[in-house]
Amino acid sequence: MTTATIASERRAAPVAAVRDRAFARFTLASVALATLARLIALFAVGFRDDEAYVVVLQRQVALSYFDHPPLHHWILHVFAHAFGEGRVDRLPFLALNLATGFALFGLARRLFGAATAWRTLFAFNACLYFLALPEGYILPDQPALAGLAFGVWAVAEGLYGPPGREGR
């Protein structure tokens, strides 16, 4: 490598770092805005068909239900007993959605670095399906996605060891 090449690489590194920090701030702002939009939607719209079905079924705890796994019923049952039934029942599922984004961020950061992690978080939150969730929030999808994302992140941590080891 020539001296000019090394000097140009040193100048490019701070520019990339500034660009990555700017994108990180943009991503955090977009996550906050998407969360605010979700909160408004949660309280502005009534229960959809599947949500109303789950709200009624969760009143009696069971080990199994006819067409859904029980975890989201149990989550809703505990939350509804603590805070009452209503649109507020969607909040734990919004929290699971945010936790999924956090797990995807951690997984991408572990495997590919910080820049990719910010892009992953932005892509997850910019996806219109996860912003609107047309079938509703109170469904088995939210706990399943969070569990899968955290599980894959845990496997990646187990396979690659602590950060800083060779590679990532």
Give the highest mean pLDDT range of 7-11, 15-19, 23-27, 65-69: 23-27
Q: From CA 103, how far away is CA 143, in angstroms rounded?
A: 12
Where residue 168 falls among pLDDT bands split at 50, 70, 90?
Answer: very low
pLDDT in tens, 91-150: 999 999 999 999 999 999 999 999 999 999 999 988 888 777 778 888 898 999 999 999
DSSP 70: S
Query: In terms of Cα–Cα distance, which of 103, 122, 95 is closest to 31?
Result: 122
Q: From CA 156, how far away is CA 110, in angstroms rounded?
A: 8
